[in-house]
Amino acid sequence: MTAPLRLSAGAIAAAVNGGETSAVAVMEETLARLAAYDAVQPQVWISRAAPENLLAQARAIDARVAAGEHLPLAGVPYAAKDNIDVAGFATTAACPAFAYQPGQSATVIARLEAAGAICVGKTNLDQFATGLVGTRSPHGAPRNASNLAYVSGGSSSGSAVAVAAGLVAFALGTDTAGSGRVPAAFNHLVGFKPTKGRWSTQGLVPACRSIDCITVFTDALADAQLVDSVVAGFDMADPFSRPLADMAITGKRIGVPRADQRVFFGDLQAEELYERALEVLGTQGELVEIDITPLLEAAQLLYGGPWVAERTAAVETLLRDNPDAIDPTVRSILEPGLAMSAVETWNGIYRLAALARHAEALWESVDALAFPTTGTTYRIAELAAAPVALNSNLGRYTNFVNLLDMAAVAVPAGARHNGTGFGITLIGPAHSDRALIAMAQDYLAAAQLPALPPLDTGDHMDTIKLAVVGAHLEGMPLHWQLTSRNAKFVGAFTTAPTYKLYAMAESVPPKPALVHSSDGGAAIALEVYELGLAEFGSFVAEVPPPLAIGTVTLADGTSVKGFVAEPRALDGAEDITHLGGWRAYIGGL
């Protein structure tokens, strides 16, 4: 299947306002998309509006436009995470025992609908917005839109997938620890997390009420900016609301983690993609390596300090009276808050205040930060085996942001070979929202990212790319080991100019040994093939020593799995590096 055809909020509103289409026509198409994708991932949704209700709302929008109103979001279909009140829908926070019928919509919902947007439904989430994975819901786990074996990210899981699958033009999420950014990265989206208080949280089921933010997922920065122009603004009904203030970022010093503090949890592709993003950012400003230790310590307070008790406070009655109604992993996170003392709480507040001073001083040396959104991603099966530890890994670069009163916008920065997204997040001081969006626009314009990977509709096979340099090349004696596994030819490439090639002694059939060299080396010709995971595993099992499968860096800086050699492979071997490849050597025999 081709890449998902995603919707644009700005384009829809312009077409409806201009009479090029109608809100009813947009909704009819939306209903068709929803029905088609239900066969792939019905767990994206907790509740949806009836089609006749949605069409009635669309007709009302068309009537307003016909009467002369210009609506910034005319006829735009959107979704809301099911911890945000929308009149006419139950609010459940993914916990049926907690569900209630709100008397009115949240402030942000009211503002969106006044602007002409139509909420098609409430999306799934990690229960009580506690998680960065999307697997902690009784309604099932929404999966990555480009690879169903992988997590969607959470807690705003359903909202991200609804946009990534092209079901709605934008979707509201929430963000306490990164829930509005991590799913954006995994699903090739923009995730805009405004400054605390910029968007009202009236009508939001709190996770940590003092630091919660409502966020938006979109396919494009322009749509995030459009939604912000509609919903941002002071709200007397929200005790944490703040007057609007837009702070410019005039400098171009971009803070990045010190090299020894960049952790990718073994994900080499994420590491490479981050380095590529830094290369682009380095053309737009000065990269400044910073010590992120104070930021990491602040992040630890979110789940290791008194903010756990703030999470507990939001659901204390249910936790005490009906604990079995809560997801076991979520319950294990919330329960320690019941025993937290006031002394511990104040000590945590004091420590955060000290760390906030470090963060404030940071803005004297840099103008914005550019961090990986996450260091890696995981399969759903992996999260089932280690739900807390792996979730914690995903929050390394996100957990501190709200605690330290920063704004952030997550943007795509490439795709792994398995289709899952990698992203970076631009982070700035409070009220730098608009300036961060402008920086992100400059980055995306320069990055020239490749086309989106295909939408996984269930017929997608998880694959691995494999580089071969010798007897497995096309036309060579062991090439059948690839064709018998239905390996797909990707292309002919060369390595980075840091390898040496040797013809091994007494090898039948003749085989080369590819060795990385820190002292000289050359670009070596090779071919890359793509195999399914099971086929790759069976292939590796047949690789005889002293050869092995490792990681090979290509000339463009990307890495693939490929043949490497143990030191003993060089015993009696002939150095043929100067020939540039195995075919040239075989042709000369």
Rounded CA separation 75/121 (Å): 15
Is the pLDDT assigned to residue 136 strictly greater than 80?
Answer: yes
What is the set of active-site residues? 81, 155, 179
**Stretch 283-310: mean pLDDT:** 95
Q: Would you place residue 458 in the very low, low, confident or very high pLDDT band (cuts 50, 70, 90)?
A: confident
Domain interval for residue 351: 9-253+263-287+297-447
| 213 and 246 housed in the same domain | yes
Q: Domain total for the chain? A: 2
| 175 and 47 housed in the same domain | yes
Q: Give the pLDDT confidence of 34-71 residue by residue, as tens digits.
A: 999 999 999 999 999 999 999 999 999 999 999 999 99
| 135 and 190 housed in the same domain | yes
**Stretch 296-308: mean pLDDT:** 93
**Stretch 491-499: mean pLDDT:** 96
Give the ranges where 243-341 is alpha helix by DSSP (H): 268-282, 293-304, 307-314, 316-321, 328-334
Q: Give the pLDDT confidence of 379-416 residue by residue, as tens digits.
A: 999 998 899 999 999 999 999 999 999 999 999 999 99
- Domain end call among 413, 447, 481: 447
| 441 and 488 housed in the same domain | no
**Stretch 297-303: mean pLDDT:** 94
- Domain end call among 447, 479, 500: 447
- For residue 561, being part of any structural domain is answered with yes
117 φψ region: left (φ > 0), alpha (ψ -120 to 50), beta (else):
beta
What is the total residue count of the chain? 589
Return the beta strands (E) in 344-405 as ranges: 368-372
Is the pLDDT assigned to residue 429 strictly greater than 50?
Answer: yes
- Domain end call among 414, 447, 480: 447
Percentage of residues of the chain with pLDDT beyond 70: 99
Rounded CA separation 511/582 (Å): 9
The DSSP-derived string for 10-77 is HHHHHHHHTTSS-HHHHHHHHHHHHHHHHTT-GGGEEEE--HHHHHHHHHHHHHHHHTT---TTTT-E
Hey, which residues does 289 pair with through a beta bridge? Answer: 256
Cα dist. 538→49, 484, 535 in Å? 48, 11, 5
Whole-model pTM: value is: 0.87
Rounded CA separation 383/115 (Å): 40
Cα dist. 5→191, 192, 550 in Å? 18, 21, 36
- For residue 456, being part of any structural domain is answered with no
**Stretch 298-310: mean pLDDT:** 93
| 418 and 507 housed in the same domain | no
Q: Give the pLDDT confidence of 343-390 residue by residue, as tens digits.
A: 999 999 999 999 999 999 999 999 999 999 999 999 999 998 899 999
| 310 and 163 housed in the same domain | yes
Q: Give the pLDDT confidence of 462-475 residue by residue, as tens digits.
A: 789 999 999 999 99
- For residue 1, being part of any structural domain is answered with no
Hey, which residues does 215 pair with through a beta bridge? Answer: 173
